[in-house]
Amino acid sequence: MTEAKTILITGAGSGIGRSTARVFLAAGWQVALMGRRAEALEETAGVHKAIILPADVTNPAEVDAAFAKLPRLDVLFNNAGISAAAATIDEIPVQQWLDVCNTNITGMFLAARAAFGMMRHQSPQGGRIINNGSISAHVPRPGSVPYTMSKHAVTGLTRTLGLDGRAFNIACGQIDIGNALTDMAAKFTKGVPQASGEIRVEPVMDVAHVADAVLHMANLPLDVNVPFMTIMARDMPYIGRG
């Protein structure tokens, strides 16, 4: 019998991370759940057996300690991220900028660093890293400087790891998500600022479609990669004139 593959999911206590974790658990994967709150991770796992790893992705020691508890890692879903309230750059507190960067850039770096090291040195060698990007990695929303800058950084991480990983049988891809209905995206159903200055309700999609897409990427053989996938609510204002 083939041993189940292992995936570690950051930000697994809610939203996209939680939905993705449940899809992988149902598919028979061994799933490690990382997040700051153990009780939220337990809630994600539900009736399934999962590896609970309470850790803050911005803390290097906690990240390394969490990864060290796994005997092997086949896939990292580098998912943890936060947003900030919409504002022009002169109205954004520096601490808010630092908070977004610490999670969305440093946290992504630390998790990818730990995963890459494991995958490089384990036997058999290799694995896959899937970074959670965003539509903002391509085009910004009004007043989104910290978040948009952070997601452009994620794209740089994905491209570089995709290159550096070749020598070690490590694939790296990115999923850019638009308007998946989570608590963070609930505002789209009430109205958000547009490029025109108007406030409009935007279409959303079930977050389960994102989880299914991540599962598809994870199931590919390591000599095949999806460098970038965009999945979005069909009619959201992304393709077209602003």
Catalytic residue numbers, as ranges = 147
- Tell whether the torsion through CA atoms of 135, 163, 76 and 219 is positive or negative: positive
SS3 assignment, position 1:
coil
Neighbouring-strand partners of residue 51: 32
Give CA separation, 2 vs 16, 29, 71, 80, 173, in Å. Answer: 28, 11, 16, 30, 25
Listed residue (80, 81, 20, 13) closest to 43, CA to CA: 13
Using CA atoms of 151, 153, 156, 162 in order, give the dihedral in degrees to the nearest 10.
-70
31 and 50 Cβ atoms separated by less than 8 Å: yes
